[in-house]
Amino acid sequence: MTTKNAIFKTDDGSHSIYSNRFNESYHSQHGAIQESMHIFIESAFNLFIKNEITVFEVGFGTGLNAILTYIEAKKLNKFVTYETIELYPIIESEFKNLNFSAELKIDKSIFEKIHRSDSSIELSPTFKLKKNITDFTNYQFQNKYDLIYFDAFSPNTQPEMWTREIFQKIYNSMNVGGILITYVSKGEIRRRLIDIGFNVEKLAGPPGKRHILRAVK
List pLDDT tens digits, range 22-55: 999 999 999 999 999 999 999 999 999 999 999 9
C-alpha gyration radius of the chain: 16
Q: Would you list the domain boundaries of the chain?
A: 32-216
Cα 40 to Cα 214: distance, rounded to the nearest angstrom: 10
Superfamily of domain 32-216: Vaccinia Virus protein VP39 (3.40.50.150)
Torsion from C-alpha of 7, 9, 10, 14, nearest 10 degrees? 100
Cβ atoms of 57 and 82 closer than 8 Å = yes
pLDDT by residue (tens digit) across 67-89?
A: 999 999 999 999 999 999 999 99
- Whole-prediction pTM: 0.96
Q: Which SS3 state, helix, strand or coil, does residue 35 take?
A: helix
Q: CA 86, 144, 215, 44: dihedral to nearest 10 degrees? A: -70
Q: What is the pLDDT of residues 130-184, one digit of tens each?
A: 999 999 999 999 999 999 999 999 999 999 999 999 999 999 999 999 999 999 9
Residues in contact with 138: Cβ distance below 8 Å, sequence separation at least 6, in sequence order: none
Q: Which of 103, 64, 90, 68 is nearest to 6 (CA)?
A: 90
Separation between Cα atoms, residue 27 and residue 24, nearest integer Å: 9
